A and B are shown apart, each in its own frame.
Chain A
């Protein structure tokens, strides 16, 4: 969006301000309290594909700008904080700056004790609809990750081989990068083909991800209790039934660090305090929403502010 004049700018800022107030009202009405957690921390969540910005002070102390408020909020949850949310800046290194990507963006993240992840996905939809205020007559579709690939690519989940995935890419005119693996090709098909098939004003809830994409979610029968929500082709939300098993969490972080090493990325320090208290967290579902993108969608802008 180009800001044509000061008047337009003022109007946009006012609309954004009301949008933020409406989010806070939504949370307040559900007795979800706002918390502020560190944006700068000595630890971060190790991720294979999300790079934190690193900061060194004059004494060579190392800090990370958080890629999401997840670590900070979960540490509060482990201490018994209860239902809570944050609206905070999140940072990503090496993002290719474009219409929907920036190094810094605003993340709304909230956690619900005792709520199932699919019920939480319904709550996200409720929030989106409330904020949209019938501007787009949003429709909702739910589909498992498995059925999604079956529907759009005819892919049989039990028979995923590199050869089959390469064939799908050839059929769909998706050129492949030089060295690649199964998970990467699935990501590529998802991000450059399948999402383009989603109808414009439809919220698509994709759920039950393959275990390799579990991240910090619970696994049930080798399926990750995770969902994502797209508005049209734009990804807006990612939610988990939160993993509470200390040993498994430690293992996943270590595996991520090993995989990071294979990609010549540095291992990231693991927050022992977080791991050791993880089992104090109650059964919880949590979700993160990129609210710059959400605002863009509601206001029909073609880029985030």
Chain B
């Protein structure tokens, strides 16, 4: 894999550090007077999402991380792994519980998800910002409460639990913002 020089640092760049792949979130170039220049970066560990601050002397090089994102269709859960399929090559990948993370509550068969691969191994799965899912369970809303904008819990077809307005009923499809698990609207 190639190396990145600090002069090419920018947010989004994937680098290797202590055998872990990281993504640069912020890059600050520090150059006091006639002194040594530094790059102070905020980086996110792509395996556990932990954020670190790190300083490099400008001019240093770091190895690039062989990380790429690819779109896969979710197929099924085999009891241990979440299995996805490449829609074109039909190649399958098995994703561990750690890698699938919080995304697992949004996984619906045949829908597409971005999987981050490091050295061709899946390390994380991300849901689209918005998903449309059917309500499988929710108590009937009480008439008259709608005006107060009341909410009630509901379960969707993937098993995720969200809060919905009282007028939403079982069997309806709703649009959800996966970033904060919030209800957006009903889908007719």
Contact = CB atoms under 8 A, between A and B. Distances in A.
Interface in A246-279: 263
B34 A192 contact: no
Nearest to B53: A175
B9 A49 contact: no
Interface residues of B, number: 26
Contact of A188 (B29, B55, B59, B60): B55
B29 A98 contact: yes
Interface stretch (A1-9, A179-187, A297-305): A179-187
B39 interface: yes
Nearest to A188: B38
Interface in B101-160: none
A183 B31 contact: no
Nearest to A228: B33
Given A95-B7, A96-B9, A191 B56 contact: no
Contact of A96 (B34, B36, B54, B58): B58
B40 interface: yes
A79 B34 CA distance: 27
Interface in A81-108: 94-96, 98, 101
Interface residues of A, number: 32
Interface string A94-133: 1110100100000000000000000000000000000000
Contacts of A235: 32-33
Contact of B29 (A101, A176, A186, A263): A101
Given A96-B39, A98-B29, A192-B40, A50 B34 contact: yes
Contacts of A213: 33-35
Interface string A166-199: 0000000111111110011011101110010000
B6 interface: yes
Closest 5 A/B residue pairs (Cβ) = A187-B35, A191-B32, A96-B29, A191-B30, A190-B32
Interface of A: 47-50, 94-96, 98, 101, 173-180, 183-184, 186-188, 190-192, 195, 213, 215, 228, 235, 238, 263
11 contacts: A175-B53, A177-B60, A179-B57, A187-B32, A188-B30, A188-B36, A188-B55, A190-B33, A191-B32, A213-B35, A238-B33
Given A176-B55, A177-B56, 13 more contacts: A95-B29, A96-B58, A98-B28, A173-B53, A174-B55, A184-B35, A186-B35, A190-B35, A191-B30, A191-B31, A192-B30, A235-B32, A263-B59
Interface of B: 6-7, 9, 27-40, 52-60
